[in-house]
Amino acid sequence: MSVQMDAVAVYMRMTTQRRMSTPQRARERIAAPKGSALPPARLRGRHRVERRTEGGFTCYTITPRHRTVERSALYLHGGGYISEIVRQHWALIAQLADAGVRVEVPIYGLAPQHDYREAYDFLTAVYRRAATAPDATPMTILGDSAGGGLALGFTQTLPRRQLPPPARLILIAPWLDLTVANPDAAAIRDPWLSRTGLLAAGTAWAAGDDLADPRLSPINGPLSALPPTDVYIGTRDLFYPDALLLRQRSATVSVTVCQGAIHVYPLVPVPEGRAAAKVIVETVANA
C-alpha cells in the first residue's frame, strides 16, 4: 500500500464517511440537492460531446476527436444512487476517449426523486440505440460502486429484453447487495463507506421494493451466462467480501484485489489507482 493511498484513506474517514455515519446524517445527505452532471470543460475541449434526452433523462456521448472509433463503452457512475457523476468519473471517461473509445454516459435519475425502475427503462433505451446502431462497435459496460451494481443488474436483464450482451463487463468496487448482509463485511475497516448510510441510500433507491430483488442486489441474479467480467476491489472496502462471492458463483468473473486499497481505488489519483485505470482502459480498447 502506498503512502498516498493511506493518506486518502485518512482523509475519507475524517470527511466523507461521517456524512453518512448516522441515520440522521444519511437522511440529510439523501435529501440534499444534487450536483451538476455537466462534463468538464477540459473534456469538452478534447473530445466531441453530444447531449440528448431519452425518456426525460440526459445521456452524453463522448466521441474521440482525433482517433478512429473501434470500441464503445457504456459507463454507469457511482454515488450510492443519491449523488451525481463527479470529476473522477469523467477523468476515467476521458482516458477511455483518449484511447479511441466512444463512451455513452447515461445520467440516470437519483434517489429519492427517482428509483431503479426508471433507471432500467432509461438504460434499455440508451443501450438499444448504441448496440443496434449502423456504426456499432464492440461494447463494454463499465460501472463503479452503485453504478457497478447497476451495470451487473442491467446486464442480467439483457436476454429477456432481447438485446445482445456486451463484449465485456468491468465492475469497479461494485455494490452487489443493497442489504450489505455478508457477515465477512463486519471485519472490514472501511474508511469511506458505512453500512448505516448504505442501507439508507439503498432503501431510498428501492422505493419500497425488496432490497434483495436481483435488479437491486444482482448478487442474487443469474450469474451463469455473464460475458467476461473483470472486478477491481480493495481489501479496505465493505464490498470486498461480495466481490469474492461473485467470483465463487461465476466462472466468467475475474477479480483483481489490491491489498490495502480503499473503495473505488482505480478512480483515486494514487499509484495503485493509476495503474488499475491504465489496465481498464487498455482492456476496453481491446475488447
Per-residue pLDDT tens digits for 245-282? 999 999 999 999 999 999 999 999 999 999 999 999 99
How far apart, in whole angstroms, are the C-alpha atoms of residue 123 and residue 76? 9
Predicted confidence at residue 18, as pLDDT, reads 84
Tell me, what's the pLDDT at 68? Answer: 85
pLDDT of residue 17: 87
Res 16 pLDDT > 90: no
Query: Per-residue pLDDT averaged across 109-128, rounded?
Result: 98
Could you report the per-residue pLDDT of 98-118, keeping only the tens digit for each? 999 999 999 999 999 999 999
Q: Residue 18: CB partners within 8 Å, gap ≥ 6?
A: 25
pLDDT in tens, 185-225: 999 999 999 999 999 999 999 999 999 999 999 999 999 88
The whole-number pLDDT of residue 287 equals 85
pTM for the model stands at 0.97
| Cα-Cα end-to-end distance for the chain | 29
Name the percent of the chain lying above pLDDT 70. 100
| Residue 19 clears pLDDT 90, i.e. is over it | no
Residue 1 has pLDDT above 90, yes or no: no
Least Cα distance to 265 among 250, 280, 252 occurs for 280
Confidence of residue 143 (pLDDT cuts 50, 70, 90): very high
Residue 36 in contact with residue 53, Cβ under 8 Å? no
Q: Answer for the pair 244, 236: CB distance below 8 angstroms, yes or no.
A: no
